[in-house]
Amino acid sequence: MPSPEKTSRGAIVAAGRDILEAGGREGLTMQSVATRVGVRAPSLYKHVRNRAALLAAVSEAAVAELAARLEGTDGSLEELVRAYRGFARDRPEGFRLMLSQAAPPEALGRAADPVLRACAQLAGEQDALDAARLVTAWATGFIGMELAGGFRLGGDVDRSFEYGLARMRRALGPA
Amino acid sequence: MPSPEKTSRGAIVAAGRDILEAGGREGLTMQSVATRVGVRAPSLYKHVRNRAALLAAVSEAAVAELAARLEGTDGSLEELVRAYRGFARDRPEGFRLMLSQAAPPEALGRAADPVLRACAQLAGEQDALDAARLVTAWATGFIGMELAGGFRLGGDVDRSFEYGLARMRRALGPA
DNA sequence: CGATACGTAGCCTTGATGGCTACGGGCAAT
DNA sequence: ATTGCCCGTAGCCATCAAGGCTACGTATCG
């Protein structure tokens, strides 16, 4: 490699992830990323097509991290959902970005797989996909509202979460 | 009223709503709004503090419209959720914006009220709030993923929706 | 010497501010 | 009652700052 590279795509994405969590989506500017990796802003375009592509890459990295966390559980419904919520707590902006950017199918599939397996056990192979969508939609919606500062009608949010989890398990079981 | 006004806050918010749906959040620029209401961009700042405030106002208008739609149903769980989904189909960008902006409590409360009532009937007054959060989270998550182009693992999305609705009703009933 | 990574300069768009002008109603003096 | 001034409001023009992005030059290594 001629001219020793001062940065790399990986470093850029990692910096983007950190900046995203620190300053939100708006704070993630090409300038800020360039400064953090020790380079001028235009140089980033040698590694990333444009800002949208950078956001997509950061989003994909978030999905990958989520998948890894899910794979680190025992595969039970409760553990999976709690791991999902834990991820959102640690990387709230990454969670939000993930939802607004369509991730590539393969990364998405890796994250979806353990959920599908758990749902197949609970609801049967036939209904596994529908059941997974039920659980995923509930968890995603709950966490999203929690992060957005919803749930302002009082009550204990953790209690609502456990209530939902219990009812979800019941909903998936045999009629 | 001195100096006949060429526009008003209401007209600005309405224009913002239309532009949002046409061009997404990024397309909603002060310039575009100003052009549509027949004014120069700086003049908007006499009516709205800044772009963030405009987005918040448009978001609040979306919540209000959703509340009106929910109030127009018969109050059953199915009707409420279908009305929610219909709103999201008609105003996808408004739906997204609504989720990312924390709406003022009163507007939120108006939209939440019919859901709370339906859930009180199904799950009892005790669990009404938790039940409403369960239903709202599921519906919000489902619709959000649907709009974001999730659900790419095949299968019939409408079928998954009806499956979820049926299971949700079962989950809320007595054990 | 050729390829590659980075930098400098600059363009365009967009958000935002400041200062100016035009309008029109209220108030007081006549 | 009429007249004339004051002042608040709304809009415009000029302008700035910041950010995304491109074109092109330059340095460095194999």
List the single best residue of B133, B140, B159 to mutate versus A (max A Cβ within 10 A).
Answer: B133
A-chain residue closest to B150, CA distance: A102
Is B100 exposed, middle or buried (CB count within 10 Å of its CB: 0-12, 13-18, 19+)? middle
For residue range B75-127, list pLDDT tens digits in order. 999 999 999 999 999 999 999 999 998 888 899 999 999 999 999 999 999 99
Residue nearest to nucleotide D23 (CA to C1'): A42
Decide if pLDDT at A14 tops 90.
yes
Give the nucleotide at minimum CA-to-C1' distance from A27: D19
Percent of chain A with pLDDT over 70: 98
**C1' of C22 to CA of B107 (Å):** 39
Decide if pLDDT at B4 tops 80.
no
Residues of B in contact with A136 (CB under 8 A): 141, 145
pLDDT of residue B2: 59
Tell me if B164 and A102 make a contact (CB, 8 A cut-off). Answer: no
Kindly state the tokens that stand for A10: 């990986």
DSSP at A67: H
What mean pLDDT, rounded, does chain A reach? 94
Residues of B in contact with A164 (CB under 8 A): 130, 133-134, 137
Q: How confident is the model at residue A175 (pLDDT cuts 50, 70, 90)?
A: low
Q: Which residues of A touch B (CB under 8 A)?
A: 96, 99-100, 102, 105, 108-109, 112, 127, 129-131, 133-134, 136-142, 144-145, 148-155, 159-160, 163-164, 167-168, 170-172, 175
Tell me if A167 and B167 make a contact (CB, 8 A cut-off). Answer: no
For residue range B29-67, list pLDDT tens digits in order. 999 999 999 999 999 999 999 999 999 999 999 999 999
Tell me if A159 and B130 make a contact (CB, 8 A cut-off). Answer: yes
Tell me how far apart the alpha carbons of residues A119 and B101 are, in angstroms, rounded to a whole number. 32
Q: Which residue has the higher pLDDT, A75 or A5?
A: A75
pLDDT of residue A2: 59
Decide if pLDDT at B150 tops 90.
no
| Torsion sign across C-alpha atoms B126, B128, B134, B135 | positive
Measured in whole angstroms, the distance separating CA B67 from the mean position of its chain's CA atoms is 8
Runs of H (alpha helix) within chain A? 9-27, 30-37, 51-71, 77-90, 92-100, 105-123, 128-147, 157-172
* Average pLDDT over every residue of A25-37: 96
Tell me if B148 and A108 make a contact (CB, 8 A cut-off). Answer: no
Tell me how far apart the alpha carbons of residues A129 and A135 are, in angstroms, rounded to a whole number. 10
